[in-house]
Amino acid sequence: MSSNPSSSGYVPPRVWTWNRDNGGKFASINRPVAGPTHEKALPLGRHPLQLYSLATPNGVKVTVMLEELLALGHADAEYDAWLIRIQEGDQFGSGFVEVNPNSKIPALLDRTDPAAPVRVFESGAILLYLAEKFGELIPSGARRAQCLSWLFWQMGSAPYLGGGFGHFYAYAPFKIQYAIDRFAMEAKRQMDVLNRRLAESAYLAGEEYSIADIAVWPWYGALAKGQIYEAGEFLSVQEYPHVIRWADEIARRPAVQRGRKVNRTWGEPSSQLHERHDASDFELRTQDRMAP
């Protein structure tokens, strides 16, 4: 394909209209409008915290956080994790939309007071909500500002990695050099930002692991290890040794190893716990142990 940006042949019409079958991986679920497509109540379990999610990088942030809180001894962080199959449109059910009007996983319902449930959406907001509720994994003073800076850095940056680089490199129905060049450059710039930070401190907010690391690791840790978009070689990820050191260290945490299995529907059967309702589910209910 030519790299001349004027040669694609596409001239935008005066008014954009929706082409339902654009050939993209997400064509069946993407729409230009919001709101529910069907009536469906959400299931409720016995714990105060009800999570509706899927083990994508955004979903894993929350299950890792909850497993970290449980590992710290917070029994009140026990949760029910229900599976939302986004490729099947579960995020457009009426019950889900009531919790998250943006129709994206993860979504959390805190029913500590069942008469006044708290609805939280956006993974960064959920991490902050849980960190404040339990008083954990968020430092105080100046380091709190650092932690929030990196947390919000993730929220603003990851769409360029996922929706930009990942989409055009791995998912678009054909390769567009202009788009891949633009977002590969940005993905590498972001990795360099992290690499420089992690050269000077063990974790993003300083010497202590925090919600900033929990937010950034599922995206950029996976990228550094060549685990998303099969892009390790293309982006020369070996150029970011401090990110790789940090990613390996976080991956060794037992709570992270548990959290990444929750609501996972792909990969090794032993790495998939479709729903989690009890700590024993990790031993008893991963897919390798379920009847076919």
Identity of the residue, 56 or 146, whose beta carbon is nearer to ligand GSH in the bound complex: 56
Binding window for ligand GSH (CB under 6 A); candidates: 2-10, 13-21, 33-41, 100-108: 100-108
CB 70 within 8 A of CB 281: no
Q: What are phi and psi of 188, to 5 degrees?
A: -70, -40
Number of residues that bind ligand GSH (CB under 6 A): 11
Please say whether the beta carbons of 66 and 77 come within 8 A: yes
Answer for the pair 118, 109: CB distance below 8 angstroms, yes or no: yes
From 74, 101, 118, 122, residue interacting with ligand GSH (rule: CB under 6 A): 122
The distance of closest approach from Cβ of residue 154 to ligand GSH in the complex, given in angstroms and rounded to an integer, is 8
Task: Work out which of 45, 47, 52, 56 binds ligand GSH, going by CB under 6 A.
Answer: 56
- Region for residue 267 given its phi and psi (left: phi exceeds 0; alpha: psi -120 to 50; beta: otherwise): left
CA atoms within 13 A on the CB side of 283: 3
Q: Which is nearer to ligand GSH, 157 or 244 (CB)?
A: 157
53 near ligand GSH (CB under 6 A):
no
Cis status of the peptide bond prior to 101, with omega within 30 of 0: no
Q: Determine if 286 is a binding residue for ligand GSH (CB under 6 A).
A: no
| Residue 104 binds ligand GSH (CB under 6 A) | yes
Instruction: Write out the binding residues for ligand GSH, residues 68-87 only, by CB under 6 A.
Output: 86
Residue 93 is given by DSSP the state B
Chain residues that interact with ligand GSH, rule: CB under 6 A: 29, 56, 58, 86, 91, 103-106, 122-123
